[in-house]
Amino acid sequence: MIRVILWDVDGTLLDFHAAERVAIRHLFAQFSLGECTDEMLARYSMLNKQYWQRLERGEMTKPQILVGRFREFFATEGLDVTVAEAFNEAYQYSLGDTVAYCDDSLSIVRSLQDKVGQYVVSNGTIVAQNKKLRLSGLGELMDGIFLSEQVGAEKPSPVFFDHVFAHIEPVDKGEVLIVGDSLTGDIRGGKNAGIRTCWYNPHGETAPADCLPDYEITDLHQIYELLN
């Protein structure tokens, strides 16, 4: 029986790419950087994913990836690299302005209240995540929120998960499920922590043999099948 769900936010409960597109285009105008085309957004999105994977592998710190991704992106696109730090600071606030749910996640989380414990576990910044969780209504439905900047460690670090278990209701790890879209952060972190893992994989990607999740879903509504 699953008694506790640890939810990732970006790319799991909320459509991160939708918020990303709106925020970057808005800030391109604000910083007078010209038009941000679909092709540019696609290149940035791929670069951003690579930077976050470096964070999850422990190769870079969060401050390094947050500004570094924009420095590299601007350099590649022939834009003013000197605005990268200010751009990133404004970006953290803008990210929370657009709320797009994955698979009606708000209703799913609400329906699970009083049935299982539900907690947010996220590597996103405090500024961006607090705003997203407040405006989306997801934050008030959770039994707790754990953000890596507050914890002092990133997923998949065991330190992050040890902190979570020290602050949630007493529960057997075999009754805990982490649901997330990141193999390097959510799935590997959950496996290292000794809990069950569920990979949210709406695009039908293939997991490597060394990081296979216990469960795989393409739609968040499938979580009901796992709970039953």
- Residues belonging to the active site: 8
Tokens in use for 210?
């060394």
Q: How many residues does this entry show for the chain?
A: 228
E strand segments, the chain: 4-7, 117-122, 144-147, 176-180, 196-200, 215-217
Give the residues across from 196 on adjacent strands: 177
Tokens in use for 99?
């709320």
Give the residues across from 117 on adjacent strands: 4
**211, burial (CB in 10 Å: exposed 0-12, middle 13-18, buried 19+):** middle
CA distance 62 to 66: 6
